[in-house]
Structure 1
Amino acid sequence: MAAHEVDSGRRIDDARRLAESGELDAAAEIFAELAADDGEADRAQAAVGLAVVLERRGDVAGSRAAARTALATGHPEYAAQAACLLARGFEEEDLGDQARAAWQAVIGLGTPAYLPAAHMALARIAEGQGDDAAAETALRAALATGDPVTASRAAQLLAGRLLEDGAPGEAADVVLEALQVPDAAEQGRLRVMLGMAHLDLACGEFASAAEEGGDPDGTALAIELLARVLPLRGRDADAATVWEYGLGHPDEEVASQVRLRRARDDAAFAGDAPDDTRAPDAGEDEDEDRRS
């Protein structure tokens, strides 16, 4: 009996086994017959199976036609698989608009297992097309899926964008939402980003306090704290500007306080400097004795 003549009782199972064993032509024949029958219970599965087999054979057009047949059935599992197959193929060919439409079809089907990948793909496509608003919307949707891995990744990307945009409060909220997801991935990295957001929030408060003035001690303290925290966020030049502002502050009392606070750095630096004094070695002792 030929490989394509096996009979397991269900033709869809025969076709799948043939495909797995490399009998692509025989598998495609069975899949195609089942997919063409509107009354066939396994039509959706057969259509997506045909799409996969034809793709493996290099028949891209035929594969996409079969995938669209599967998608049209609206089957929660196999239509979603077909839409994912279409979307990934379009992305590989850099066909962003078609890929976006296919991923949106995945979301429209609403099958939970496929939503995280679909939202992340939409974010990726939007970013590639320079649509920041759409990318942010997709990342927020990916976070909302509650998938431990996807939610963490989406939160990191979104929080990074928000920090760059000067919105540390929103960034902190995003990270906290991800940390509330059960078994969220990369929790350590999420907490680092939360700390970065809090540092930026602190810098904003210190800057406001320094600008408000009124209390010389409080103003000087705010200037010092701002100047010392900024380097933690890689903003050394801004820190130098803050010190310069404080040292030249129009309120001499504030400037004096800033000089005292800045002097701590100078004193610490001096304390770290190498000590020029050292004990003479044995040879130096003997030379000194002879001279005396």
Structure 2
Amino acid sequence: MPEVDTRPLETARRLAEDGDLDGAAVILAELAADPEGPDRAQAAVGLAVVLEERGDAPDARAAARAALATGHPEFAGQAACLLARSFERDDLPDQARAAWQAALGTGNAACAPLAHMGLARLAVGPVEAEEALRAALATGEPEISSLAAQRLAEILLEEGEAAEAAGVLVEALSVPDVVETARLRVLLGIAHLELACAELTGAVEEGGDAETGALAIELLARTLPLRGRDEDAERVWRYGLDSADEELAEEVRLRRNRDA
């Protein structure tokens, strides 16, 4: 007959899994109240979880604060994350930010990705958001790194920083076992399209021989619609068709009409 684990923590866990939250809370509260108990930090975290499930947010936060105060290398970080999520759910951003910062301060590496993403969600302004997202990406956690890179790349693309966005996405794709690689590659393709548009615009503005100029105009005019910029594409075509350089205008006309 297998030996049954009768440790109080294990008993509390089984009670919680069986739906007896009150019974679990009694055991965990007793363990958490023992200043010399070896399981004090873990019990306080467990108590915070049980009380949260029971709908007692104030007492759950009190238990989480008690666990955080122990400075335990593992459970203090978990407690800070519990606090931060609780504050976010209740739309208390200042308290949530402080709790996420506390999670980072515990040195618990497992909490760092979540904390950086939490700070990114609660950031005041784009600079703060970008810093938090870069820190989240740097953790190398497969899911968080992917999410952080996607959000950061979208911000950078909106700011016209396509090259930087591409760098962020390449970094994310190099993370072992990173998730949502297809989405990352789509965003990388978009960044490359933006870079292509910028280079082609430069080629059009610099001029050159008629054949090269017409090719640049065609490529730019056919690429812009892929980014939802149909009106800009039409202006590029008109630029070539209305050129004072008759040879260029004719080359552009031939290129535009060849698919007609």
TM-score, normalised to structure 1, is 0.81
What secondary structure sits across from 1:250 in the alignment? Answer: coil
The verdict on how the C-alpha distance between 1:96 and 1:246 changes in structure 2, with shifts beyond 3 A counting, is same
How far apart are 1:40 and its partner, in Å?
A: 1.4
Q: In the aligned structure 1, how far is the partner of 2:239 from the partner of 2:162?
A: 24
Larger Rg belongs to: 1
The verdict on how the C-alpha distance between 1:245 and 1:18 changes in structure 2, with shifts beyond 3 A counting, is same
**TM alignment of 1:96-245, pairs within 5 A:** 96-126=93-123, 131-245=125-239
Q: In the aligned structure 2, how far is the partner of 1:215 from the partner of 1:249?
A: 13
Whose RCO is larger (CA < 8 A, sep 6+)? 2
* Residues 149-175 of structure 1: per-residue CA shift (max 9 Å, x gap): 221122122112211211111111111
- Structure 2 stretches lacking a partner, 5+ long: none
How far apart are 1:8 and its partner, in Å?
A: 5.5
Q: In the aligned structure 2, how far is the partner of 1:251 from the partner of 1:198?
A: 31
Say how many residue pairs are matched: 257
Cα root mean square deviation, aligned = 1.9
1:48 corresponds to: 45
Q: For 2:247, give the aligned amino acid.
A: E
What secondary structure sits across from 2:73 in the alignment? Answer: coil
TM-score, normalised to structure 2, is 0.91
Q: In the aligned structure 2, how far is the partner of 1:55 from the partner of 1:49?
A: 10
Identity value in percent? 65
Q: In the aligned structure 2, how far is the partner of 1:235 from the partner of 1:223?
A: 14
Q: For 1:164, give the aligned amino acid.
A: E
Q: In the aligned structure 2, how far is the partner of 1:54 from the partner of 1:188?
A: 40
Q: Does 1:83 align with 2:80?
A: yes
Q: In the aligned structure 1, how far is the partner of 2:180 from the partner of 2:53?
A: 36
What secondary structure sits across from 1:183 in the alignment? Answer: coil
2:7 corresponds to: 10
How far apart are 1:134 and its partner, in Å?
A: 1.5
What secondary structure sits across from 1:172 in the alignment? Answer: helix
**Higher alpha-carbon deviation: 250-259 or 206-215:** 250-259
Q: Does 1:258 align with 2:252?
A: yes
